[in-house]
Amino acid sequence: GLLERRRCLYLRTGRACCQMMEVLLAALILVCSSVSGGSAGGYTGLPALGGIYYYQYGGAYSGFSGADGELAQQLDQRFYLLKLPIARAAMAVGGCLLVFPCVLILVGVLRVPWHFSAWLLIECILYIVIAVGTVPALYYFFHSLLSVYNSSVCKERQQLYQSKGYQGFWCSLHGAEIAAGLLGCMAAMAYLVSAGLAVRDYRTVHEQKQKPLQL
């Protein structure tokens, strides 16, 4: 009835649109973070194929055998373990950022801000805290990744693959990690916009409640 239509109208507001954009950005951050640390990496020996080593990123290679193959496998595993805590932390942050706007959308649909207008001020404070906290989080993310890429494990791994003619194993940030950082910056700006919209809506609700007869 009328109540359901009013609830659906919230999804057409500027604040709801901004929150849905935050959901999309958080989902993309989660995907990029999982790409960064989602593969265990490493060559796996396949004796049945005559000593060919299979790399999980895509295809069978015959350039490694014997001691070199074992060394490549060890270096890949060590490199993966170095990146794993960073990837898990990024995925956890992305998951939290995904849940937060979903909860706020539900709160808006249920018209909680209308019945409890102070919630909009709480929402504004939360948005500002998250936006400010995104800056040190991004710094930690890139600082930790660069520490891994500057490690002796990564350097030795890169030299080993280059000696066999394989490319793409550079000790530098790759596209998914850079994209995660850019998406984090975009999310921080979206949070600040949402904070401003929450203050605006608080004033609107407060003014409307002062004129109950006109409603």
Give me the mean pLDDT over the 3-19 stretch.
Answer: 75
125 belongs to a structural domain: yes
pLDDT greater at residue 56 or residue 184: 184
Separation between Cα atoms, residue 8 and residue 200, nearest integer Å = 20
Give me the mean pLDDT over the 126-154 stretch.
Answer: 93
Separation between Cα atoms, residue 83 and residue 78, nearest integer Å = 9
CA distances from 53 to 41, 42, 61, 80 (A): 12, 9, 6, 18
The winner for highest mean pLDDT among 78-82, 202-206, 210-214 is: 78-82
Separation between Cα atoms, residue 205 and residue 90, nearest integer Å = 37
- pLDDT value at residue 193: 94
- Copy the structure tokens of residue 194: 């949402």
Separation between Cα atoms, residue 84 and residue 131, nearest integer Å = 25
pLDDT band at 5 (very low <50, low <70, confident <90, very high): low
- pLDDT value at residue 61: 43
Give me the mean pLDDT over the 152-169 stretch.
Answer: 83
Q: How many residues does the chain have?
A: 215
* pTM of the predicted protein model: 0.79
pLDDT greater at residue 71 or residue 211: 71
Instruction: Tell me the average pLDDT of the chain.
Output: 80
Residues whose CB is less than 8 angstroms from the CB of residue 87 and which lie 6 or more positions away in sequence, other chains included: 33, 34, 36, 37, 38
Q: Which of 84, 85, 81, 91 is nearest to 184 (CA)?
A: 91
205 belongs to a structural domain: yes
184 belongs to a structural domain: yes
SS3 state at 59: strand
100 belongs to a structural domain: yes
pLDDT band at 65 (very low <50, low <70, confident <90, very high): low
Separation between Cα atoms, residue 11 and residue 185, nearest integer Å = 24
- pLDDT value at residue 212: 57
| Residue 182 phi, psi (nearest 5) | -65, -40
Predicted confidence (pLDDT) per residue in 66-120, tens digit: 677 778 778 888 888 888 899 899 999 999 999 999 999 998 888 887 788 888 9
Number of structural domains in the chain: 1
- pLDDT value at residue 213: 52
Lowest-pLDDT range of 2-11, 169-178, 195-204: 2-11
155 belongs to a structural domain: yes
Q: 26 — alpha (psi -120 to 50), left (phi > 0) or beta?
A: alpha
Q: Which domain holds residue 135?
A: 2-210
Cα 198-200-201 angle, rounded to 5 deg: 65
SS3 state at 157: helix
Separation between Cα atoms, residue 137 and residue 141, nearest integer Å = 6
215 belongs to a structural domain: no
43 belongs to a structural domain: yes
Residues whose CB is less than 8 angstroms from the CB of residue 96 and which lie 6 or more positions away in sequence, other chains included: none
- Helical (H) or strand (E) element with 112: helix 112-115
Give me the mean pLDDT over the 195-200 stretch.
Answer: 92
